[in-house]
A and B are shown apart, each in its own frame.
Chain A
Amino acid sequence: MAYEQIKVKTPLILRLLPILSIVLFFGTWQMVVDLEIVPSTMMASPIQIFQLFLVKWTEVNPDGALLSQHIWTSVQEAFTGYLLALLVGIPLGLAMGWFVVVEGLSRPIFEMIRPIPPVAWIPLVIFWFGIGISGKIFIIWIGGIVPCVINSYEGVRMTNPTLIQMARTYGATDWQIFKQICVPSALPMVFGALQIALACCWTNLVAAELLAADVGLGFLITMGRKLALPDMVLLGMIMLGLTGVVIGVVINYFEKRLLAGIRR
């Protein structure tokens, strides 16, 4: 056992460095643009982005929608795909882990679909569904379903075999064991899947929107590029990042509350 002597004070410089680092970063960025080191068609400064941010709450041009509409559409698409992925993926994964029939029938199909990056589905989806919301949700769904299935499957496979044997000595049926032992035991892995699937869904949302949309944060980015407005592109990127973080925090909050009750 190694005991650690905990230092009571962090040196002042260690606490200042992060702040300095960030300030330096933004400062350099701002200067680079102000001094025209990089042409204004290629880069926008933090201040310019912030100005656009303020403007876009009320100004529809030049991309055709308010910032709030973009955010809302993106979030809607992502969440729908995400929830559908959870609804299909988790029960499927859980069942695959326990029932041989389910695994036997679904596994080959799953293993064939799995190596295909969701991005690769985009042309086919456009070909089938056109540029519409259902196509985008499909891509997000495909992207999110894989981690859900895998994690749920692994969760069930990791059930303590002693518990299963114990249940059998009590004469429990397969279904009862599944419901009472395997599923609760797999819950931590399932919750892990929630976060992973969310990250996957958010990334694939970007992909789907970059190509086929008329509103949404991804569309905002593409429009910015087509109109050679770097501040729009960067605003879209930053909003994507921010929104992703916020959603992650929200999910985390719900996960903690749910798990607090279930945790052994």
Chain B
Amino acid sequence: MREERHSNPVKIVCEDITKVFIQKGKQRVHVLDHISLDVQENEFVVILGPGQSGKSTLLRIIAGLETPTEGHVLIDGQEVEGPGPERGLVFQGYMLFAWKTVMGNVEMGPKLRGVPKKERREIAAHYIHLVGLDGFEKHYPHQLSGGMKQRVGIARAYANNPKVMLLDEPFGQLDAQTRYFMEKETARIWETEKRTILFVTNNIDEAIYLADRIVTLEGKLPGRMHVAYRVDLPRPREHTDMAFLKLRHEITEASELTL
């Protein structure tokens, strides 16, 4: 089910993505089945699905870390052939470099591209400020809380000025309250520096709070597109809003049918 699109240019195009893994013992695991998805520029799209529905794999394919068995991904019209800084990926397990400070982590991307020290320090400082971690530049990851670590992850991905941001269940390991806080922060960061965002989660509230558009996957392998929802609620959104709760109810009902 596709809604009408706005007149923004299309940023990401996934055509007929299929992915089959060959596990040990020659067992074939069919993870994704003919997924097609269009994402417009500066749109916030959430891929929603319960665990084991293949959504992380889809994100990794778009990131370029995996290659699809069939189909291809186009970003700005160009096919994705491997990982790269134009797609910023934020990992579920933070994956920070434990031996580098916050500044060291965030400036890693520019550093790999050969940006001179002064310039990359400025870039990193800008994004550290964006995620609200001023004053923590010299801290090491083990000195930070979970929410702060993930903010470093976001800043690190943003520092490369990516065309799209990909977030893979970034708040899955945080407690409920930190999670609410991080959702608000994410919305704020996105409003401040607009970017095309693909956000993967299994949390319905989170999806409705953040998304312009929610794409749900069926709850079992192989992952197939289920229903897409356009979320037109005004921002900032309230979890207790009537419209919010109605949509929530709708999505919950629909997803129960597939489990």
Contacts and interface: CB of A to CB of B under 8 A. Distances in A.
Query: CB atoms of A and B under 8 A apart anywhere in the complex?
Result: yes
Interface stretch (A2-10, A28-36, A61-69, A179-187): A2-10
A6 B20 CA distance: 12
B23 A6 contact: yes
B22 A5 contact: yes
Contacts of B57: 3
Nearest to B25: A6
Contact of A6 (B22, B31, B66): B22
A118 to B, nearest CB: 37
Q: Which of A3, A5, A8 has the most CB of B within 10 A?
A: A3
B21 A5 contact: yes
A6 B28 CA distance: 11
A1 interface: yes
A78 B231 CA distance: 75
Interface residues of B, number: 9
B42 interface: no
Nearest to A6: B24
A1 B24 contact: no
A3 B21 contact: yes
A178 B223 CA distance: 51
A8 B28 CA distance: 12
Interface residues of A, number: 5
Nearest to A7: B22
Interface string B65-106: 010000000000000000000000000000000000000000
Nearest to B22: A5
B26 interface: yes
A1 to B, nearest CB: 6
A9 to B, nearest CB: 11
Contacts of B21: 3, 5
B56 interface: yes
A1 B56 contact: yes
A183 to B, nearest CB: 34
Contacts of A3: 21, 31, 57, 66
Nearest to A1: B56
B26 A8 contact: yes
A1 B24 CA distance: 17
A6 B56 CA distance: 19
Interface string A1-23: 10101101000000000000000
A2 to B, nearest CB: 8
Interface string B13-27: 000000001111010
A67 B110 CA distance: 67
B56 A8 contact: no
Interface string B128-156: 00000000000000000000000000000
Contacts of A1: 56
A256 B185 CA distance: 52
Interface in B1-54: 21-24, 26, 31
A1 B26 CA distance: 20
B24 to A, nearest CB: 5
Nearest to A3: B21
Nearest to B31: A3
A24 B31 CA distance: 46
B141 to A, nearest CB: 20
A3 B31 CA distance: 11
Interface in A92-137: none
B113 to A, nearest CB: 25
A260 to B, nearest CB: 24
Contacts of B66: 3
Interface of A: 1, 3, 5-6, 8
Among all A-B residue pairs, the 7 with the closest Cβ atoms: A6-B24, A3-B21, A5-B22, A5-B21, A1-B56, A6-B23, A8-B26
12 contacts: A1-B56, A3-B21, A3-B31, A3-B57, A3-B66, A5-B21, A5-B22, A6-B22, A6-B23, A6-B24, A8-B22, A8-B26
Given A3-B31, A3-B57, A5-B21, 9 more contacts: A1-B56, A3-B21, A3-B66, A5-B22, A6-B22, A6-B23, A6-B24, A8-B22, A8-B26
